[in-house]
Chains A and B, each alone.
Chain A
Amino acid sequence: MINKAGQLTANQVQRTWCERHLWKLASPFLYFFWQIIFHSSSCKKPEGDFQTTNRRRRRRRTQGSNMSSLGQKSPDRANFVNLLSQYLKEKRNLGDFSVGIASKPDAKGQQARTLNLLPHVANSSESSRPNLVASTSNVKSSDFFPGSFGASGSKEDTMNKTDLRKPVTGETKNAQLTIFFNGQVVVYNDFPADKVKEIMALANQGSSTACSGVNVSDPAVEKPTSNFDKIATNNTNIPNLNIASTPANNPAKDPSVEQRQYGGSDLRIARRNSLHKFFEKRKDRAAARAPYQLNYNRVSPPPPKPDENRPTCDEGQSSKEARRDIDLNL
């Protein structure tokens, strides 16, 4: 509101001060955000008070100079649009790999709002974590878009976790994949689960011939975490465990230790020959008799047992089946 004297009201003074100083303190992103909002909203103002409009225009110019006075590189709007179009192109080219920035392309102004394009932040992040971002062409977008820096926090977490494995929790289809190899670290966000399985199968095949895991003695890789050594030596178990020999049914299964994929499958432990033959014979016999359901009275009533829906897995059932077994070995 402008008083009759044509001077700025207290509110306006206050707001101007805020605009000048508070935004120095707040995040530069918010500053830009505010600028963009202010700019876009000012375009829609109805023509009213000419003087007010003029003053606002003057204020905006002042703000523009203030912005440069913040000592930033101050990409002007053309530069901003260039960067934006570049990002969008690369995102399309990347295909599956998204760099973790949620872009909502509903309105141009709104789209612009959500991007954090401050190069100085990008530079600092790059310099402080040279190992984090691998110099592979696929992940180049992260050089430009340190919004992935937001994801780099979780990169740190994954470095504390195991290598050669996607830290999957639960049944999520896409998650982050971290690969440590030969002194380099590569991080992929939103990596699909089925591709991970392919990669792990490839790694198992490659490691099975050499019977060893990743070369963990590389000091460059050991730097970031203190307990990496311990985890790494644990992890070198993984290829061996993957191919742990058992005379069992499903050797392609991956009994990754760190993920504790236990529960129900004792494939890691070899079965004694004599017992194995015995169980195989029982299954064969039960499978042969499966169409014939006969009821026999047991001597003692059977307690309730879980039904596994398979011929001979439940031993309580199998005693019935053995009684029906007229397939004599002699």
Chain B
Amino acid sequence: MEERRTAPFNTGMPDAVLKCVLPYLDGPRDRASISLVCRRWYELDSASRKHITIAFCYTTTADRLGRRFPAVESLKVKGKPRAAMYDLIPDDWGGYVRPWVQEVAANLDRLRWLHFRRMIVRDSDLEVLARSRGGVLRALKLDKCSGFSTDGLFHIGSMCRELRTLCLEESSIVELDGQWLHEIAMNNSILETLNFYRTDLVQVSFEDLERIARNCCNLTSVKISNCEILDLVGFFRAAAVLEEFCGGSFNNEQSDRYNAVTFPPKLCRLGLGSHRMPSVFPFASLLNKLDLLYALLDTEDHCLLIQRCPNLEILETRTVIGDRGLEVLAQSCKKLKRLRIERGSGNVSVSHRGLTVLAQGCLALEYLAVYVSDITNASLESIGTYSKNLCDFRLALLDREETITDFPLDNGVRALLRGCEKLRRLALYLRPGVLTDVGLGYIGRYSPNVRWMFLGYVGSSDTGLFEFSKGCPSLQKLEMMGCCFSERALAHAALQLPSLRYLWVQGYQTSSQSSDDLLAMARPCRNIELIPARRVITTDQVEEAVVLEHPAQILAYCSLAGPRTDFPETVISLDPVL
């Protein structure tokens, strides 16, 4: 079968040797480099590549994937822009999984792990997938997807008996009944991860959960939608090896009954709604992941709990933790790697004081995402000084304070970028005037490894964007919101940034000529799409109709597939030919 080819470029290495070496090279960048060496290496890589991530589903087509990587075993496809998580993208924008599922069903025989993020899935797609690959599918993740119902999940439950991982986190699912979980309970005995956290699936029954826990002896991670802990006593008793659990809450007023609840002994990743702290204290020292986003604790409770968790590595909570909670965190949790502080609705807020203490205390920090009400240059500098392992930094400045203490933040941002050399992802959501054009130029100059950036309300003129686009050598994906740049500057930046392949902008200065400036960035393999400004009528909690104004959006991306063909009315494609 193997032919000895005399290729013009002879590497001197027989294919057999290469085939032994290649499986050890998994990283996508390594594999991409291998495929560029010569035709032979390209073919060997194509035949042996196991994992593909399609960062944006319209950059290529499913049949191209099937032709190039027929042996792929794990596929991850992402659809809608990230802004969809914040309700800024029309629901019918696109990102349909149908072509990908059809390709999987037809050609990708070796596929075992399938992950769709922010895409539109239909029940029929799930049925096709279940019928064609149900016998071999090991993992299905429908992450922040929409468009399907529990009927589609029923097919998955009944036909995918080899499923080890089912993840539906944060998807919008139409719930018709709880039969899908019953199917899983009856048919599956090797489930390891079950996740329907942050969904609205509430008609599931406890008995099915208990049955799954009894049948699946490797069940290690269960994340469910909100339910009462007292109903899960049986489940906890049955799930002996459970390590991760999220979703229960202490709703009952008779607190003494909670004393009868015993959690699994290996539980180390926890996320409960409305914590009842004494229940958690016994095993708090084992915890390495804690999700307090829906826990409804106040600052004091945070401090009391965090003090007891010296092994904590991942913490997600809201701004109610406050600066004081961050101080306690810095003192107690020296192993902390990931911290996410989401925006809360109370009065307590996080500021530069807490961040400085945190940076000095938690030196192992790799991921930091925080909503602050106030920030200073000094705190950003201290992050740059101490958080040497930081790979992902995201900062959003809330409008809570009338004026912030110390602006512009140009020097602080520069110090942070120069200090955190491993930084690969950066998000800064500020206010006008807080980061000037000079600061934007610093970002360009001092972010050699950053691949993704999200910038909101930065800079004050096109000059800033010009300076920014002189740098950022590794920037692949750029998202901007609320900036004051003109279309001409955006087009210039898109052409200047050497690695840029995806650009999303909302809120910019439109020019009087319709989109001619934007077309300056048009290239043969680049698609430009516009979502014009639109009004969305929603109802708020007092049942009044509210009109939301959405500014126009630009989405420009490199694509081998040509312009999209599945546009909704709200999206316009800019074709330079026209």
Contact = CB atoms under 8 A, between A and B. Distances in A.
Interface of A: 208-213, 215, 229-230, 233-234, 236-237, 240-247, 249-252, 255, 257, 260, 262-276, 278-280, 283-284, 287, 294, 296, 299-300, 302-303, 305-306, 308, 312-316, 318-319, 322-330
B231 A330 contact: yes
12 contacts: A209-B533, A211-B510, A233-B484, A240-B484, A241-B457, A244-B482, A247-B86, A251-B546, A269-B429, A300-B277, A314-B346, A319-B301
Contact of A326 (B198, B252, B297, B538): B252
Contacts of B296: 315, 318-319, 322
B482 A240 contact: yes
Given A240-B482, A302-B300, A262 B509 contact: no
B40 interface: no
Interface string B448-485: 00000000010011100000000000000000001010
Contact of A328 (B227, B297, B400, B457): B227
A299 B276 contact: yes
A101 to B, nearest CB: 36
A289 to B, nearest CB: 12
A276 B345 CA distance: 10
A319 B347 contact: no
Most chain A CB within a 10 A radius of its CB, from B204, B345, B461, B540: B345
B551 A230 contact: no
Contacts, number: 205
A326 B251 contact: yes
Given A243-B550, A243-B551, A244-B507, A325 B251 contact: yes
Interface of A is mostly: loop
Given A251-B548, A323-B274, A325-B251, A234 B510 contact: no
A208 B551 CA distance: 8
B101 interface: no
Nearest to A276: B87
B2 to A, nearest CB: 52
B317 to A, nearest CB: 11
B226 A211 contact: no
B403 interface: yes
A232 to B, nearest CB: 10
A315 B399 contact: no
Contacts of B286: none
B170 interface: yes
Interface string B548-565: 111110000000000000
Interface string B276-318: 1110000000000000011011111100100000000000001
A209 to B, nearest CB: 7
B34 interface: no
Interface string B327-356: 000000000000000111111100000000
A287 B540 CA distance: 14
A304 to B, nearest CB: 11
A262 B374 CA distance: 12
